[in-house]
Amino acid sequence: MQPDCSAMTPQESLLDISDLKQFNSFRDLNNLALMEILRESEIRLLGSDDTLNAAEEAAHKVFLLRGELMLMAGDKVMETITAGSVRSREPVFRINPEGLKAICWKPAEVLLVEARLLAKYCHPVAAPTSGSPVSYTEIELSEEENELLSEVYHHFRSQRVDLPTCPQIARRVNQLLEPPQPDPQEVVSLLQADPVIAAQIVQMANNPFYRVGEGVQSLRQAIEQIGMAAVKSQVMSAVMRHLYLPQTLLVKQRLRELYAHSIQIAAISHAIARHKRRFDPDRALLAGLLHDIGTIPVLIMADQHLNLSTDARLLESAIRKLHGFVGGMLLQQWGFDQELVIVAEESD
């Protein structure tokens, strides 16, 4: 019987990195690597008599989180695996031949991790070449950086990611959207000065209520799709929900620098794309605007740490190590496409 099971992300199930460390494959990995594995993995809920076939799961490594599975080859029972046992610390299927299957003996949860991701961290064969995905095992985190990362991750997991918007920009948007009908290009130019508002406008345009076809690819398309009234409403509600005033001068200054840098990169990206036939300038502008968005949650959390919020060297170290991972996680949670997620992940 094929599993008629539901699937969820580890974040939805509240699976934590401590749950991963019970498995031998993950025991020696650092928190950044473990969080990427959590982000990219899937949990399946299995009912009694549901079956997992080894050959069909060859692209994944399957780990038993809860319940009990009976491993069978043909009609022969090979072993029973119980969650929490010594055997359950290893993958359910060590090999993936035809005929090998796991039958759910009691209601169970299994974690599916892509084999390529496991190989990336658990079986490194060579130093990465230029353009290769970032390997988080190469990043050494201090105790305070680990604590900061854990705080950011738990905010994501509980859906409490409150990012600051710029009140000055919101006021200008409010004025611009008053009758008579504003120029859409003026609205685009103004909104691109705030990466958070821009991201939320695009996210709103791609939700099921507004979405048409494959969704929007740029801020300009998003504004055209949802209309000026919705833009105004979204901007003002975002400001009211997420008004944030840094407590420390260093974080305030760094946040101001981030906004200026994002606008500069967005403008450069737009200008370059205008001279390249294969690139959409508006899409390039959005990518430039969002490339460093992972720095914002890091700054918000760092503002609550005395050492990080008063020592520029420590703060920059935390930003350099964490912003790519956090940015990718944020855009993925907001439903942005993989291309923009990669832009945030690989931002220097």
Q: For residue range 209-248, what is the model confidence (pLDDT) as tens digits?
A: 777 777 888 898 998 888 887 887 777 666 655 556 678 9
pLDDT of residue 128: 38
pLDDT of residue 174: 65
Please give the residue that has the higher pLDDT: either 176 or 40.
40
Residue-wise pLDDT tens digits, 274-286? 888 788 888 888 8
Average confidence score pLDDT of the chain: 80
Residue-wise pLDDT tens digits, 26-72? 888 877 888 888 888 889 999 988 999 998 998 899 999 999 999 98
Give me the helix-helix angle, 31-40 and 115-122, nearest 10°. 170
Instruction: Enter the DSSP assignment of 292.
Output: T
Q: Alpha carbon of 309 to those of 4, 102, 252, 253, 345: distances in Å?
A: 50, 51, 10, 11, 24
Please give the residue that has the higher pLDDT: either 299 or 125.
299
Looking up tokens 């840094």, which residue turns up? 246
Which tokens in the block code for residue 301?
A: 């959390």
Q: Kindly give the residue spans of alpha helices, DSSP state H, lying in 165-305.
A: 167-176, 184-191, 195-205, 219-226, 228-242, 249-274, 281-290, 295-302
C-alpha 256/C-alpha 110 separation (Å) is 44
pTM above 0.75, yes or no: no
Indicate whether 250 pLDDT > 90.
Answer: yes
Strands 6-8 and 76-82: what pairing? unpaired
Indicate whether 132 pLDDT > 50.
Answer: no
All residues at 6 or more sequence positions from 56 whose CB lies less than 8 Å from its CB, including other chains? none
Residue 175 exposure: Cα atoms within 13 Å on the Cβ side: 7
Confidence band of 130 (pLDDT split at 50, 70, 90): very low
C-alpha 258/C-alpha 64 separation (Å) is 43
Q: Alpha carbon of 296 to those of 120, 168, 345: distances in Å?
A: 28, 18, 14
Confidence band of 82 (pLDDT split at 50, 70, 90): very high
Name the strand (E) or helix (H) holding 111: strand 100-114
Going from N- to C-terminal start, the domains of the chain cover 6-139, 167-345
6-139 — its CATH code?
Answer: 2.60.120.10
CATH of 167-345, one of 3.40.50.720, 1.25.40.10, 3.40.50.150, 1.10.3210.10: 1.10.3210.10
pLDDT of residue 81: 92
Domains 6-139 and 167-345 share a fold: no
Which tokens in the block code for residue 199?
A: 């991201």
Answer for the pair 158, 15: CB distance below 8 angstroms, yes or no. no
Q: Alpha carbon of 93 to those of 52, 84, 141, 206, 310: distances in Å?
A: 10, 16, 33, 39, 50
CA 13 vs. chain centroid, Å, equals 16
The whole-number average pLDDT for the span 146-153 is 78
Q: Alpha carbon of 334 to those of 16, 159, 200, 301, 346: distances in Å?
A: 20, 10, 8, 19, 18
Confidence band of 289 (pLDDT split at 50, 70, 90): confident
85, with CB counted inside 10 A (0-12, 13-18, 19+), is exposed
